[in-house]
Amino acid sequence: MRVAMIGSGYVGLVSGACFADFGHTVVCIDKDPSKIERLNRGEIPIYEPGLDDLVETNVRDGRLSFTQDGADAIRNADAVFIAVGTPTRRGDGHADLTYVHAAAEEIAGLIEGFTVIVTKSTVPVGTGDEVEAIIRRVNPQADFAVVSNPEFLREGAAIGDFKRPDRVVVGVNETGGDIAERARTVMSELYRPLNLNESPLLFTSRRTSELIKYAANAFLAMKITFINEMADLCEAVGADVQQVARGIGLDKRIGSKFLHAGPGYGGSCFPKDTIALVRTAQQYGAPTRLIEATVEVNDARKKAMAGRVEKILGDSVAGKTVALLGLTFKPNTDDMRDAPSLTIASALIAAGARVQAFDPEGMHEAAKLMDGVEMKDSAYDAVEGADAVVIVTEWDQFRALDLDRIKLLMNQPVMVDLRNIYRPEDIRQLGFKYRGIGRG
């Protein structure tokens, strides 16, 4: 099938490359000329394991291409995906749909023949209705259907998530009659390569599909926040949060995923999606108290992390050097959006500390956002002369550091392990002063 992907950011690029690998012909479109130039040179503008090889293979085989002018691709497409950003709107916390509406305007004047317009972007309930209304207004004669197809891609594991999904949610207009059935047929064909054993497609109403995405992210954010609060309780009563997490996670009704205590969630999805869901719920008079509390607790947690460093250094970091290992919000990505490191570094600097840091993939993005932080070339460079080292992101290379070397390089051997990647007894035997998360 012929696919036009409007937006060549994280979601659009990964989705486009994977659809091309399924055998479809995909054109990725983006208004940013520098991004398109880089992609046409074979440079991938984001870090995602395996994506460079996937893009290279499908470009070489003629199934994947990139352009700034997507008019022809949209005219010829069986399905046009909207995969543009929906950032938090300044002032009120709602999702900003400016780019979604602009994409709908562009599509409306170009579609020829029956076309399925697919909202891949994370959008509030009712956005599909708005997109449909825009296209009807601009092009009353258009033969089209608008469907919702939210993404559930984890950064660092996105290709596997796309090709081996738990589910693929597709929302269609239930009152669409024949048009809705034709849309189902197109979407089923697009995802047919996934049907080797049992189809993961879940067809719902369009509004239900839009809400599923927000509900899923809010639930996972709440689960993370829950175990973080349990971690604080463990510290107070002398329990171990990792054993608590294992003990409850073995219950199949709960499950073990997203029960890892840490400095709070960040990234491109959970922060903005929880806030957007709260605002939507308030708008419809059905407030989501649990999600409101999740947002508040998570924000407070990130701010409190610097206090842990201050406490282990005698209640003050003024004039001291702190090394941060890991800056991105999670491993295997270069995404710095709402990363806990941003809040931690800012608080430490405000308290008078000198901060030096290293991240395997996020240095370029971090440098744009972290004024006053000295970026170093390696973990060992970052800890040199430090009074404390703080593990903020659990990159694999930080799990097996030469701790004897670290100890010699530091001004004093102090470790704050915000991801619990080391065993306290091992670190203390080496002469370190150590503090983890949720270990009493």
Q: Please give the C-alpha separations between residue 389 and each of 160, 313, 383, in angstroms, as whole numbers.
A: 33, 11, 6
Q: What are the φ/ψ torsions at residue 262 (nearest 5 degrees)?
A: -170, -155
Of 140, 139, 168, which is closest to residue 153 (Cα–Cα)? 168
Catalytic residue among 18, 28, 234, 269: 269
> Could you tell me where the beta strands, DSSP code E, fall in 77-154?
79-82, 115-119, 144-148
Alpha helices (H) along 153-258: 158-163, 178-190, 206-237, 241-249
Q: How far is CA 344 from the centre of its chain?
A: 19
Of 26, 34, 30, which is closest to residue 8 (Cα–Cα)? 30
Q: In angstroms, rounded to a whole number, what is the distance separating the alpha carbons of residues 435 and 415?
A: 6
Q: Indicate if 28 belongs to the active site.
A: no
Q: In angstroms, rounded to a whole number, what is the distance separating the alpha carbons of residues 143 and 187?
A: 16
Interacting residues of 195 by C-beta distance below 8 A, sequence separation 6+: 201
Q: Which residues are catalytic?
A: 269
